[in-house]
Amino acid sequence: DVKVTQSSRYLVKRTGEKVFLECVQDMDHENMFWYRQDPGLGLRLIYFSYDVKMKEKGDIPEGYSVSREKKERFSLILESASTNQTSMYLCASSSMLAGGPTGELFFGEGSRLTVL
Amino acid sequence: AQTVTQSQPEMSVQEAETVTLSCTYDTSENNYYLFWYKQPPSRQMILVIRQEAYKQQNATENRFSVNFQKAAKSFSLKISDSQLGDTAMYFCAFKRYQGAQKLVFGQGTRLTINP
């Protein structure tokens, strides 16, 4: 089974702190994603990556950056956390292999971040 | 840009009843994928069912089935013989057939199955 592991389930940070959210997948997937989940808004894409060192902005990239130095690891960085970044962050991965389960995302358990 | 709309923020039914969750989407593309994902309380999101737009037959997975109306851009999820374990947030999602691998999600429907 695919396993997507997010480093922290719950974090509490102060305004202005630098925050790192780590995600690791064990299925050699090419694609990795960071979504933000808020009540009434569903999931919104922050950034995604389709290869090592490659990244593309999603729908709400402002205030965030990402890093993908190894295929299995995709990090989300909040350079200076703000209270409006309090949210649930979901990491996901998917395969681009032909004939594979095209499009299916495999999710981590989520990281709930509170910025005070 | 594609958009996905779930107009039912919350639903509640009795155990063993049948429930239908609604989803509409907007796209100019002819081929694409549609998904329903389930997020149980405090647990990770999992795929429930997938539909390829070029397939006319509605997808089914055990008690879960979809009503895919391509012309109306509607993709509803029917849960038959609902169980307590079906209590969860349900998200409808869209993916282009080719190109970017990202999914676009709806707002979600919180479904509660009552004993």
Which tens digit of pLDDT belongs to each residue from A61-116? 999 999 999 999 999 999 999 999 999 999 999 887 644 456 788 999 999 999 99
Q: Using one digit for the tens of pLDDT, what is the confidence trace for B48-64?
A: 999 999 888 999 999 99
pLDDT surpassing 50 at residue B40: yes
Length, in residues, of chain B:
115
- Whether residue B45 and residue A31 make contact (CB cut-off 8 A), yes or no, is no
> What percentage of chain B reaches a pLDDT higher than 70?
99
Instruction: Please tell me the predicted confidence (pLDDT) of residue B98.
Output: 74
Query: Is the CB of residue A108 less than 8 Å away from at least one CB of chain B?
Result: yes
Pairwise CA distance, residues A92 & A110, whole Å:
9
User: What are the chain B neighbours of A57 within 8 Å (beta carbons)?
Assistant: none
Q: What does the pLDDT read at residue A99?
A: 43
**pLDDT (0 to 100) of residue A2:** 65
SS3 A3: coil
pLDDT for B73 beyond 80: yes
Which residues of A are less than 8 Å from B107 in CB distance?
40-42
- The token duo for A89 is 């962050």
Going by C-alpha positions, the residue among B64, B75, B61 that lies closest to residue B25 is B75
Work out how many CB contacts closer than 8 A connect A with B.
52
Shortest CA distance from A38: residue in chain B: B107
Tokens 């037959």 map to which residue? B57
* Token pair listed for A13: 């940070």
Contact A107 B44 (CB under 8 A): yes
Average pLDDT of chain B is 94
Contact B90, B36 (CB under 8 A): yes
Q: Kindly state the percentage of chain A with pLDDT values over 70.
A: 92
